[in-house]
Amino acid sequence: MDFWQNIYANFDVIAFDIFGLKVHWYGIMYVLALLVALMVAKYYAIKDNMGISKAMLDSYFIWVEIGVILGARIGYILIYDTHTLWYLIHPWQIFNPFYNGEFVGIRGMSYHGAVIGFLIATYAFCKKNRQNLWKYLDLVAISVPCGYIFGRIGNFLNQELFGRVTEVSWGIYVDGILRHPSQLYEAFLEGFVVFVILLLIKKFRRYNGELIAYYTILYALARFVCEFFREPDFGIGFVAFGMSMGQILSLLMFFLGLFLSFYLRNIKKNL
């Protein structure tokens, strides 16, 4: 247990370097997250005979990846970063992976910003290629949680998004302070648990769009719970009624999921 509690002191965030270019574990986990999500999507696209070709799916994921990266980074700058104004004046710095001449990668991504970028990219792709929007969203709903597991493990390995101070035996020391490994809680609840529940719902799916509606609801609930163990974002703290920004955004996401479920249920004959 002592090794686990002091894992950060014995673990290097850099996996290896190539000709001086440092490759972080977070980057490796991010790539794995994308590959796993794509493989799961292809599996269910074939298994459920959704009429989506592999070539079309590959093209779609390129669109989505661009949308997610742009949305996640810009969302973080606008919602969480304490230097928002500076980035707005120097927009070319938003994706600058160097700091003082050293490659440090791009740190600071917002999940909720990623969602917006993803939705815009999906809508644009389906509009351009005349695809059924709700089919693609359902496919994403079942595949993203699997990739999300690796994403949160990446946060843990990158020693970021720390948990709140605790006294539990499985806590980990961060700069001498024992904290919840909240990133792993999120990997389990927001990734694995959401995926399992969606698999059960999928067996009784009645219309296109149902899975994305339930994913929105389930993720919001899981994230809301995990926020009780996650340290509020630096510079923001608790926003209102003792809730963090993540919890407020999750509440909005939850009600959006309820509305989407109600809306789709009432127009399912046209989907």
Q: Is residue 231 part of a domain?
A: no
Name the domain count of the chain.
1
pLDDT one-digit tens code per residue, 32-77: 998 999 899 989 988 888 888 888 988 998 999 899 888 888 888 8
Q: Is residue 107 part of a domain?
A: no
Alpha carbons within 13 A on the beta-carbon side of 103: 10
63 near 125, Cβ under 8 Å? yes
16/85 Cα distance (integer angstroms): 35
pLDDT one-digit tens code per residue, 176-228: 999 999 999 999 999 999 999 999 999 888 888 999 999 999 999 999 999 99
Q: Is residue 121 part of a domain?
A: no
Annotated binding site: 152
Instruction: Record the pTM.
Output: 0.84
CA–centroid distance for 63 within its chain = 16
Q: Is residue 17 part of a domain?
A: yes
pLDDT one-digit tens code per residue, 223-238: 999 999 999 876 677 7
Q: Is residue 70 part of a domain?
A: no
For the chain, how many residues are written? Answer: 271
Domain that holds residue 24: 1-52+131-206
Q: Is residue 100 part of a domain?
A: no
Q: Is residue 257 part of a domain?
A: no
Q: Is residue 37 part of a domain?
A: yes
